[in-house]
Structure formats: structure tokens, C-alpha cells
């Protein structure tokens, strides 16, 4: 086998790992473009929450594995923080949309029943 760009020789395992990493990155790109099409705000919130937990897990995993190089975790904290702000803005957007929409007749009726107000039709 030939020398690699980092020095040393390539092996079947290292080539397999490079293809595995390329496959994972391609899959995550596909998932990203698939999730962009989601228009429901609550579904977007669930997806962003899941992605936040995934980035948090990756960050903690990096700190555990690379104890001597813990500052590499900063690279995973940047998307985690970005995702946190996106999730916060999405929650504000959901609240704004609910306030704009108002209460339905059924919700008003149930609130009146809860308050003990009888409405004569």
C-alpha cells in the first residue's frame, strides 16, 4: 500500500473507515434537506430538540474520549449553541402564531365551563 497524507501506510480498515465517514456525512446531508421541507412548527421543534440532544451527546462523548484535547469540544459546542438559539426562536414563533390565531369556539366553551360561566345561546 502507498503512504497516506498523514504518514504511514494505508490499510483496508482505514479506507473502509473513510468511506464509512463519507457515507454518514452524505446521509446527514440528505436528512438535512429532507427536514427543510417540514412546515409544521411543532414538528420542527421536535426535530431541533432531537438534534440538540445529539450534539450534546457528541460533545460529552468527545470530552470523555479526548481528555487531553478537551478544547476540541468547542467545535461541537458551536452547532449546539446555534441549535439552541434556533429552538428558542422557534418557540417564540409558535407562541406568536398561537396568539395570532386566537381561541377556537370549543376552547372558549371549555374555558367557560371551567370558570363556571353559563352561556345562554
11-64: pLDDT as tens digits: 777 778 888 888 888 888 788 778 778 888 888 888 888 888 988 888 888 888
For 75-105, the pLDDT digits (tens) are 888 888 888 898 899 899 988 988 888 888 8
pLDDT of residue 72: 80
pLDDT of residue 37: 83
Q: Which of 51, 35, 48 is nearest to 89 (CA)?
A: 48
pLDDT of residue 1: 47
DSSP for 67-100, written as a single string: STTGGGGHHHHHHHHHHHHHHHHHHHHHHHHHHH
Q: Which residue has the cell 370549543?
A: 106
pLDDT of residue 3: 54
Which grid coordinates belong to 36? 427543510
pLDDT of residue 88: 92
Cβ atoms of 88 and 45 closer than 8 Å:
no
Amino acid at each position: 500500500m502507498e503512504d497516506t497524507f498523514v504518514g504511514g501506510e494505508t490499510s483496508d480498515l482505514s479506507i473502509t473507515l473513510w468511506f464509512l465517514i463519507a457515507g454518514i456525512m452524505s446521509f446527514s446531508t440528505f436528512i438535512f434537506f429532507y427536514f427543510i421541507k417540514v412546515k409544521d412548527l411543532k414538528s420542527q421543534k421536535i426535530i431541533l430538540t432531537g438534534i440538540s440532544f445529539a450534539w450534546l451527546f457528541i460533545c460529552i462523548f468527545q470530552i470523555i474520549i479526548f481528555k487531553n484535547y478537551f478544547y476540541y469540544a468547542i467545535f461541537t459546542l458551536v452547532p449546539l449553541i446555534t441549535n439552541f438559539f434556533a429552538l428558542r426562536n422557534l418557540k417564540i414563533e409558535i407562541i406568536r402564531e398561537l396568539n395570532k390565531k386566537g381561541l377556537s369556539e370549543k376552547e372558549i366553551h371549555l374555558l367557560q365551563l371551567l370558570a363556571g360561566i353559563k352561556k345562554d345561546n
